[in-house]
Chains A and B, each alone.
Chain A
Amino acid sequence: DAGVIQSPRHEVTEMGQEVTLRCKPISGHNSLFWYRQTMMRGLELLIYFNNNVPIDDSGMPEDRFSAKMPNASFSTLKIQPSEPRDSAVYFCASTTGAGYGYTFGSGTRLTVV
């Protein structure tokens, strides 16, 4: 099992540009989570999908952030337009519906300059 796969590992972009982060959950996991981690705020849940349907997006900071899960094996987190304060490590995690096997990806380190 390759685990949760995220891409890219690192992204450096200029302020105002669109950024798309990608995630492939573990096969058979039906829940997917996007997190943001910063030194100041730790891990913050952005959005949570269950069976490809967004369940809780209360953590999405503002309208510049959007997430999609078109099928069970792929999700994207898009920031448009990006701002320097969006710089953080973004993690994707997946799990079964019962909450076991909760596995994080290696993260995408985003730097907006």
Chain B
Amino acid sequence: KNQVEQSPQSLIILEGKNCTLQCNYTVSPFSNLRWYKQDTGRGPVSLTIMTFSENTKSNGRYTATLDADTKQSSLHITASQLSDSASYICVVSGVSGGYNKLIFGAGTRLAVHP
């Protein structure tokens, strides 16, 4: 069964600290993996997208890694800011019926406190 599991479910850190969010998936065949940030009351916004051959991709203070062999990904946030408080959703794209189908993780809810 195609699944995407994220951990932790929620996380509280102090402003300025780093954190790492985890994503394990069993989606096959695999097309790409995306990390989205969703602020409260807003739609998800793409942070990174990685294909099978990419191991790491950065977007400012956000760095995503991908190990396609172990089917694991992480999102590292450096020097956190209050504005990083949001839900972070891991989304894996697989091909089903000839079309890209997105499988969503449940998200990690991050709270950055001053």
Contact = CB atoms under 8 A, between A and B. Distances in A.
B97 interface: yes
Given A45-B102, A99-B32, A56 B46 contact: no
13 contacts: A42-B106, A43-B89, A45-B102, A55-B99, A56-B97, A91-B44, A99-B31, A99-B32, A99-B93, A103-B46, A104-B36, A104-B44, A106-B43
Interface residues of A, number: 21
Contacts of B100: 98-99
Contacts of B105: 42
A104 B43 contact: yes
Interface in A34-49: 42-43, 45, 48
B1 interface: no
Interface string B37-61: 0000111111001000000000000
A46 to B, nearest CB: 13
A102 B34 contact: yes
Given A93-B43, A104-B36, A107-B41, 9 more contacts: A33-B102, A42-B106, A98-B100, A99-B32, A99-B100, A100-B49, A102-B34, A103-B46, A105-B43
A102 B102 contact: yes
Interface string B1-12: 000000000000
A4 B34 CA distance: 19
B99 A48 contact: yes
Contacts of A55: 97, 99
Contacts of B107: 42
B104 interface: yes
Contacts of A102: 34, 46, 102
A84 to B, nearest CB: 21
A76 interface: no
A56 B104 CA distance: 16
A50 interface: yes
Give the residue among B42, B43, B46, B49 with the most A Cβ atoms within 10 A.
Answer: B43
Nearest to A98: B100
Nearest to B96: A56
